[in-house]
Amino acid sequence: MKNQYSLLAQIFLWPFLPQYKVNVVNELTPAVLREMEVQHILLDVDCTLKRYDTDLLEDWVLEWLETLEVAGVDVCLLSNGKKSRIGKIADHYDLEYEAMAMKPFPCGCWRVMKRKDWDRKSTAIVGDQLMADVAAGKFAGIKTVHVTPIHPETEPIFTRIKRPLERLVFRFAMVHRGTFEAQKKETAE
């Protein structure tokens, strides 16, 4: 899950290289988050929690959010979407949110962290876009988790045109994924 990059990629692609990569958000179980030393999550909405063209969260997402709440992990939705749309989703599921976050700029992350008194070390951003979510997290100085997008074909055209570029970044960066176990073994050796 933790990524490793070549030095060249780290130099040239730093803002777009997530520290961690998961396929779906519920891979981030409380135990995994503990291992990552993450207590607070800034959570992207579109294509991370749900496909773009619906306002409903599926049961497995709600179950995951529930496990985080039970484990005491704080979650705040962080989206570039309009307040009217994101606020409606957040209110429906009784979640906190920050809309119009202006990712890849870090200001949205910082606004939430200041409001909630979260420190950088224990905060992670979780999202599907390298050039918005991951970059915002890198600039904000927090941990970054990239999620494989859910049905990216449902996104508006201006988001979709970034996807081939994102794939290119990943290919160029030669992302190596390992498990925590493998990571631990490596550091022990």
End-to-end CA distance of the chain: 19
B/e letters for 107-140, b = 16+ CB within 10 Å, e = fewer, are: ebbbebbeeeebeeebbbbbbbbbbbbbbbbbbb
Q: Restricting to residues 42-71, name those near Mg ion by CB under 5 A.
A: 44, 46-48
**Separation of alpha carbons 115 and 147, rounded Å:** 26
Considering the complex, what minimum distance in angstroms separates the CB of residue 89 from Mg ion?
13
Nearer to Mg ion, 113 or 147 (CB): 147
**Separation of alpha carbons 133 and 166, rounded Å:** 12
- Interaction of residue 166 with Mg ion, rule CB under 5 A: no
x/- contact string, 119-138, with Mg ion (CB under 5 A)?
---------x----------
Please choose, out of 14-22, 38-46, 111-119, 174-182, the segment that lies near Mg ion by the rule CB under 5 A: 38-46
- For tokens 């990239």, name the residue: 146
Nearer to Mg ion, 3 or 149 (CB): 149
Considering the complex, what minimum distance in angstroms separates the CB of residue 178 from Mg ion?
25
- Interaction of residue 98 with Mg ion, rule CB under 5 A: no
Q: Could you list the residues that contact Mg ion (CB under 5 A)?
A: 44, 46-48, 128
